[in-house]
A and B are shown apart, each in its own frame.
Chain A
Amino acid sequence: EVQLVESGGVVVQPGGSLRLSCAASGFTFDDYAMHWVRQAPGKGLEWVSLISWDGGSTYYADSVKGRFTISRDNSKNSLYLQMNSLRAEDTALYYCAKGQVPAATMGAFDIWGQGTMVTVSS
């Protein structure tokens, strides 16, 4: 079964740091780009970051650029999001999602995890 499982979400103080993880299974992880997408409580979806299949290219939303870092370990079938200088507006459910097309950064997100909740509050 193709599956993505996020972890690492907690309550953290403003200015703090956190690393989210996403464990992939059921597909050839290193063939696909991966994304992080977040959803603030009661709000819509916001694309956060993208990493290419080989980790060689990364992209970020302006709202997180310079504070968040996406990475992957293809030997462990895992995706990460290092989050620094956290703000209240980063409070959201964070999803990891798989790119649909092998070896491409463009395309739909065809598999999503269940999400992990990050709350930034003092």
Chain B
Amino acid sequence: DIQMTQSPSSLSASVGDRVTITCQASQDISNYLNWYQQKPGKAPKLLIYDASNLETGVPSRFSGSGSGTDFTFTISSLQPEDIATYYCQQYDNLPPYSFGQGTKLEIK
């Protein structure tokens, strides 16, 4: 099974900061990588699919990049409403479609 290593596990940043989260796969997954946002008490929400494609309706300050085993998720200018936990997820070939451990983002 493919393992996803996400870092950092928590992050504190100021409004307006550029925030970066990384995700590393245990083997090559091409671009089969998605990013989700989960706010407290809410269901996850798809932000980025296929490593770099912005889901419809998601603000352009969110972006993703990478391929193979190394991926990056970026918020270009942190907003107060971005406080959440972020998860990467791979879907290479057959299941299991594993998630990263999550990154809890807080405002400094």
Q: Which chain B residue has the least Cβ–Cβ distance from A100? A: B49
Contact assessment for B32 and A109 in the assembled complex, using a CB-CB cutoff below 8 Å:
no
Bitwise interface map of B from 37 to 51 toward A, beta carbon under 8 Å scored 1, else 0 = 010000111100110
B51 to chain A minimum Cβ distance, whole angstroms, is 11
Whole-angstrom CA separation of A46 from B91 in the bound complex? 13
Q: Which residues of B are found within 8 Å of A115, using beta-carbon distances? A: 43
Q: Which residues of A contact B97 (CB under 8 A)?
A: 35, 47, 50
Q: Is B59 an interface residue (CB 8 A)?
A: no
User: A61 at interface (Cβ–Cβ under 8 A)?
Assistant: yes
Closest to B100 in A: A44
Residue B62, interface by CB 8 Å: no
Chain A nearest CB from B27 CB (Å) reads: 16
Q: Which residues of B contact A44 (CB under 8 A)?
A: 85, 87, 99-102
Chain A 54-66: CB-based contact to B (< 8 A → 1; otherwise 0): 0000011110000
Contacts of B93 in A (CB 8 A): 106
Which residues on the B side are within 8 Å of A114 (C-beta)?
43
